Amino acid sequence: MSDVSDVSDRSERSDLSDRSDLRVLVKQVNWLGDVVMSLPALRAVRRAYPLARLSVLIKSELASFFDGSNWIDAVIPYRLRSGVGGLRDRAALVAELRRRKFDVAILFPDSFDAAFWAAMARIPVRAGYIRDGRGLLLTHGVRRTPASLKGHQVHYRLQMLAEALGITGDATEYAPDVGEGARRTMQDWLAQHRRGSGRLIALAPGAAYGPAKEWPVDRWAGLIDRLSQRHRVESILVGSPAERARCEEVAIASGGALVTAGETSVGELVALLSLCDGFAGNDSGAMHVAAALGIPTVGIFGSTSPERTSPLGPQATVVYKPVACSPCLDRTCRFGHYNCLRGIEVEEVERLLLKLTTAV
């Protein structure tokens, strides 16, 4: 598809690490939780090419995640419309990447689009997993193995880097950076809206994937009331704009909770969670951020597998009640009973959360 220059030989990675003129692009994944789980791989790329200009290509709505990451030289946000507008957006994106003259593209998503954009941008080295019919578009393609599909997902992209480019990393380097501006913004917000001065617990009752990840509304409301009435803990409901309605439903069903879902950027969400004393939430992006920040975190799992996507962090635990059909990985329960979620009681989440928060 394009010429492969002398930098494409994977045996020359050590030579590339000394090049101060090297331009490296990492195409980031498309979901917040996956961005957190890819951080060890991204940090490994930074260490492998310490003198290079490192750029991250990421969806606009996730770009602020890297506001506090001064070890990244450039964040390139993009947005794709549907229809004809989307075709124009893709063409403009390819032109922008070509203008920046990247030497290496490391593709964390497995999509055809990611490889196609890199190839059309004439980036000589293109590394990623061979999936979605994109093998011919990669110069350093890696085939998935049974080992790459087992264990925690944090290892998935680290294995690709090791096989494609000889880059090794540390799976424990998952902590997000908190932007100071975002931290001040959220400190001011809390000062204006908090009702008390006790412990503050963030709750994430939504999940973009679907209802098979969502603990029932009445359970969330019960948890909020127990935390408030028994332990004088204030709750704040976090999430994306799409999860705002569910958060408001939970707030109304309970005795009351603060709601920030849909009001914060991703960078502000990271900052807000860093200011909280604990977190409980469905398997979601917010769960991964909270755990990676090191705050006490309880992750509630339904259709998904804790073996693959459990929260990473020294103070993180999960609640998982596997039934005969789980983990199914479906968005909705094919049987309509959601027993994997309904089997989780309010008292259990309350007990785990308080055990973690009082131990810190």
pLDDT along the chain (360 residues), means of 10: 40 62 97 97 97 97 98 98 94 98 98 98 98 97 91 96 97 97 98 92 90 94 96 96 95 94 97 98 96 98 94 97 91 91 96 86
CATH class name, domain 180-359: alpha beta
Q: What is the pLDDT of residue 358?
A: 82
- Domains of the chain, residue spans: 6-165, 180-359
The answer to whether the 6-165 and 180-359 domains have the same CATH topology is: yes
Q: 218 Cβ partners below 8 Å, 6+ apart?
A: 253
Please give the Cα distance from 210 to 331 (Å, whole number).
5
CATH number of 6-165: 3.40.50.2000
Q: What is the pLDDT of residue 329?
A: 87
Q: 217 and 246 in contact (C-beta within 8 Å)?
A: yes
Q: Cα 342 vs. chain centroid, distance in angstroms? A: 26
Show the tokens assigned to 229: 């009435």
Pairing of strands 278-282, 297-301: parallel
Angle at 70 between CA 129 and CA 92, to 5 degrees: 55
Please give the Cα distance from 247 to 251 (Å, whole number).
6
Q: What is the pLDDT of residue 360?
A: 53
Buried b (16+ CB within 10 A) or exposed e, 108-131: bbbbeebbbbbbbbebbbbbbbbb
Q: What is the pLDDT of residue 7?
A: 43
What is the model's pTM?
Answer: 0.93
